[in-house]
Amino acid sequence: MDATALREAHANLLNVAEKCADQQRMAPPPGEWPAEFVLAHVAKNDALLADATELLIAGRALTFDNAEAIDEDVLLGIAAESGGWANLCALVKANGERLAQLTECLTPEQAATLVPSKIVDNGEVRLDSPVPWAQVLQINATFHVLAHTRQLEELFSPLGGMNATGG
């Protein structure tokens, strides 16, 4: 399966993250994650997708649930353990590349495998049914990573998040 879109999405995300590295982060709007959580989330989600893809390639049964990638305690742990912005970016890059490499190993039959998948976004269940694994990977590459790229841009834009005092 082609992983070009995934690599391009990660390159765009990391380009934005690198440009923002030394800028003041805006406080996120109420209910939104801080920038470090956004990167931790993308890194964790890619790791979960890569783990599932590895199981699929090995011919093992699997399900996919993004619950761990949206658990704020998990994201806090990833952000804290990373040791800073540059290391978070490196983790996103490594996990994204691992996922891309595994994606490229998928045969057409494996990519078409129906995988019971549950994806929750902002407290709303977006998907809760068996879908072809290629569809889950395509959503990640063409929507998910791009949405978080825009989220980062807004957190570093004077018009995006809220100012540091919350106003």
162 occurs within a structural domain: no
Spell out the per-residue pLDDT of the chain, length 167, in tens. Answer: 999 999 999 999 999 999 888 777 777 888 889 999 999 999 999 999 999 999 999 999 999 999 999 999 999 999 999 999 999 999 999 999 999 999 999 999 999 999 999 999 989 999 999 999 999 999 999 999 999 999 999 888 764 444 433 33
Q: Which residues contact 13 (CB under 8 A, 6 or more apart)?
A: 42, 92, 145, 146, 148, 149, 152
164 occurs within a structural domain: no
Structurally, how many domains does the chain consist of? 1
163 occurs within a structural domain: no
112 occurs within a structural domain: yes
161 occurs within a structural domain: no
CATH code of 69's domain? 1.20.120.450
CA distance 114 to 167: 47
